[in-house]
């Protein structure tokens, strides 16, 4: 019997008690929200096997948080279907498998889904109607979902901006009427050259959304300059390097140590690029997970969109839950200010547009665009702990 089997079958009483406390706490945070569920249209470059398993972390987070009612799922394929090399992917690799797996784990329904556009927009106001029919389903599903909704819908993207921008350009009035907020995980904040991956996949679509005057929560993935995280010194100095959502999981096996056996196997299936039958795989005896580091970007945006706040636990660790749940658990006085969204006014000259440069003015009181900034020097440790506890729900 290997060590992972022992983890589930033969834990000592000393290990059980704190583990149960964490599980009970995170379960209550996930299940006992008193707010109305939020309809959401979600776009992700989710693949099987994964291009980057950060999308699997995001998918699990989305489905663990009971606030969200996923109305449509768009498979963003812009990074993988227009290049003829070893990175190109085929339609059967789009993320249907992990979507079905996470639905089976959580007991939630599989939402309507479709493959998105595979070419960038030819201009910021491009509608992409000229692209082949095979890849039009994503935009069509976005517009259909909005038209059929009786309430405003949250839109959330963690890949390119192509499908959301094309939908906006085809029916801007519909999105103005039906979109409650749009979270964009892309770009380099808060000013300068926009050469981050998601923004660079479709610069025209990216600029389209930032200039759309929709209620945008802009979540830049990295700062300008060298590809790195902000440091504690950056946070204390309150400089521009803090306008991004990035944090790292130093050891993925440690982060996922309290998840259920089925969720453990969900990640193991992705990490090992398994070709086995995906649903039965969830019920197998768990094996060791990778201990490699992993960069994560979207977690704080999920928390903010759901209306959750971050609280220090009574016995250590950090938890994301609603203020109502925090009050019931007696930790209302332990809220931690970890990040914030600041209004920002964006501008771009014609020359800057050619160079993919934007200028951000943070000296404004109101704007339709709000940019993410982390404000706590221990942001990385706090976000890793809160993510680990969310995933420990199932």
Domain boundaries, the chain: 6-16+33-245+340-376
pLDDT number for residue 341? 98
Q: What is the pLDDT along the chain (394 residues), one digit of tens a residue?
A: 333 433 333 333 334 334 434 444 444 444 444 568 999 999 999 999 998 999 999 999 999 999 999 999 999 998 665 544 444 666 568 999 999 999 999 999 999 999 999 999 999 999 999 999 999 999 999 999 999 999 999 999 999 999 999 999 999 999 999 999 999 999 999 999 999 999 999 999 999 999 999 999 999 999 987 777 888 999 999 999 999 999 999 999 999 999 999 999 999 999 999 999 999 999 999 999 999 999 999 999 999 999 999 999 999 999 999 999 999 989 999 999 999 999 999 999 988 999 999 999 999 999 999 999 999 999 999 999 999 999 998 7
pLDDT number for residue 228? 79
pLDDT number for residue 33? 45
User: What is the CATH code for 6-16+33-245+340-376?
Assistant: 3.90.245.10
pLDDT number for residue 51? 83
SS (H, E, C) the chain: CCHHHHHHHCCCHHHHHHHHHHHHHHHHHHHCCCCCCEEEEEEECCECCCCCCHHHHHHHHHHHCCCEEEEEEEECCCCCCCCCCCCCCCHHHECHHHHHHHHHHHCCCCCCEEECCCCCCCCCCCCCCCCCHHHCHHHHHHHHHHHHCCCCEEEEECCCCHHHHHHHHHCHHHHHHHEEEEEECCCEECCEECCCHHHHHCHHHHHHHHCCCCCEEECCCEECCCCCCCCHHHHHHCCHHHCCCCEEECCHHHHCCCCCHHHHHHHHHHHCCCCCCHHHHCCCCCCCCCCCCEEECCHHHHHHHHCCEEEECECECEEEECHHHHHHCCCHHHECCCEEEEECEEECCHHHHHCCEEEEECCCCCCCEEEEEECCCCHHHHHHHHHHHHHCCC
pLDDT number for residue 81? 54
pLDDT number for residue 15? 40
pLDDT number for residue 80? 66
């Amino acid at each position: 019997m290997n060590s992972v089997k022992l983890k589930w079958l033969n834990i000592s009483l000393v290990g059980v008690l704190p583990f149960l406390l964490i599980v009970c706490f995170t379960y209550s945070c996930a299940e006992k929200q008193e707010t109305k569920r939020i309809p959401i249209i979600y776009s992700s470059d989710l693949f099987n096997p994964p291009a980057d398993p950060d999308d699997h972390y995001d998918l699990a987070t989305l489905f663990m948080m009971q606030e969200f009612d996923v109305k449509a799922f768009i498979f963003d394929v812009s990074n993988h279907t227009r290049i003829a090399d070893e990175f190109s992917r085929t339609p059967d690799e789009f993320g249907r498998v992990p979507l079905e797996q996470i639905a089976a784990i959580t007991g939630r329904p599989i939402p309507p889904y479709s493959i998105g556009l595979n070419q960038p927009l030819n201009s910021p106001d491009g509608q992409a109607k000229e692209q082949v029919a095979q890849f039009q389903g994503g935009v069509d599903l976005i517009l259909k979902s909005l038209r059929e909704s009786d309430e405003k819908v949250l839109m959330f993207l963690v890949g390119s901006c192509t499908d959301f921008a094309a939908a906006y350009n085809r029916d801007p009035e519909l999105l103005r009427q039906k979109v409650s907020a749009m979270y964009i995980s892309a770009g380099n904040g808060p000013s300068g050259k926009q050469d981050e991956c998601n923004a660079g996949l479709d610069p025209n679509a990216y600029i389209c959304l930032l200039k759309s005057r929709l209620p945008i929560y802009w979540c830049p993935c990295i700062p300008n300059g060298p590809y790195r995280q902000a440091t504690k010194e950056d946070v204390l100095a309150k400089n521009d390097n803090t306008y991004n959502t990035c944090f790292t999981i130093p050891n993925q096996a440690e982060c996922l140590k309290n998840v259920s056996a089925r969720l453990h196997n969900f990640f193991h299936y992705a990490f090992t690029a398994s070709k086995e039958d995906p649903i039965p795989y969830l019920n197998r005896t768990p094996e060791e997970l990778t201990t490699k580091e992993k960069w994560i970007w979207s977690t704080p945006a999920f928390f903010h969109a759901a209306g959750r706040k971050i609280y220090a636990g009574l016995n250590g660790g950090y938890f994301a839950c609603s203020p109502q749940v925090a009050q019931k658990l007696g930790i209302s006085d332990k809220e931690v200010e970890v990040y914030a969204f600041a209004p920002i006014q964006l501008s771009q000259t014609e020359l800057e547009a050619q160079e993919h440069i934007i200028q951000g003015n943070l000296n404004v009181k109101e704007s339709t665009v709000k940019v993410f900034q982390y404000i706590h020097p221990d942001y990385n440790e706090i976000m890793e702990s809160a993510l680990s506890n969310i995933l420990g729900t199932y």
